[in-house]
Copies of this chain bind each other. A is one copy, B any other.
Amino acid sequence: MLGWEDIRAEVLRRIRARDWPPGALIPGEEALAEEFGVARATVNRALTSLAEAGVIERKKRAGTRVAELPVRRARLEIPVIRLDVLGRGLPYDFKLLADRLAPAPVPVTARLGLPEGTPMRKLETLHLAGGRPFVLETRWLNPAVLPVPLPDFAQVSVNEWLVTHVSLVSGDIAFTAEPASPREAEVMGVVPGTPLLVAERTTQGTGGPVTWVRLAHAPGHRVAMTF
């Protein structure tokens, strides 16, 4: 018997074979159900899956069309840094370099949607892979939305504690290439100006903005995704 994955595969084949070229209207669910000899719900499952993948566009009343410019979507899985390191076959360790309460700089408060000068906790953590610098994490935490008691971040990496103790609702992440600042160069043992892959994240929780973090990766770091 045909399952929804079979239907999906066949529809995909026809699209790729240009039987149904970009922009074309494809048959309605009922028609396809009849053709394949399955229930409409099964066709619906298949088409819903293709729509999520960006291959087709569905509109009520207007029907289903093959996407004109199929948007390619890649999925990035953001692991806890410890697991990222272990996954590369290297022993993991980290050092808490700094931990203090201070008014957050404007770029941070602005991105998080907090009032200027909000006091936040700044944590600087160096993550090590095989004893060598892997990522320098510079983080501003919003103490107002954190559950108590807070752990000792010299023992438990902030990175990991947040994942398990705070419910993160949404956020965004951006990658840039930046020259290593003097501070980064010193901490990571590279020449100032060395290109570093930098990831900047902001995260919102149920109670409001949780954290802003900048991850400066060691030279040569690759962030890989599949689509």
A residues near B, CB below 8 A? 15-16, 18, 22, 68-80, 83, 163-164, 167-179, 193-198, 206, 217, 219-227
From DSSP, what is the main secondary structure of chain A's interface residues? strand
Q: Which residue of B lies closest to A200 (CB)?
A: B222
Report B-chain residues with C-beta under 8 Å of the C-beta of A195: 177-179, 195-196
A227 adjacent to B177 (CB under 8 Å): no
Chain B residues with CB under 8 A of A76: 73-76, 225
Do the beta carbons of B69 and A163 come within 8 Å of each other?
A: yes
List B contacts of A77 (CB < 8 A). 71-73
B70 touches A173 (CB 8 A): no
Contact at A175–B178, with CB atoms within 8 Å? no
Please indicate the chain B residues that have their CB under 8 angstroms from the CB of A175 in the complex.
175, 197, 222-223
By a CB distance below 8 angstroms, the chain B residues around A223 are 174-176
Contact of A173 among B83, B178, B198, B224 (CB under 8 A): B224
Bound together, the chains give a CA A16 to CA B59 distance in angstroms of 33
Chain B's closest residue to A197 (CB) is: B177
Which chain B positions have C-beta within 8 A of A68?
A: 164
Contacts A77-B71, A80-B69, A195-B195: A227 and B173 contacting too (C-beta < 8 A)? yes
Could you tell me if A176 and B220 are in contact, using CB atoms closer than 8 angstroms? yes
CA distance A22 to B71 in the complex (A): 34
Residue of B whose beta carbon sits closest to that of A216: B177
Contacts of A177 in B (CB 8 A): 177-178, 195-198, 217, 219, 221
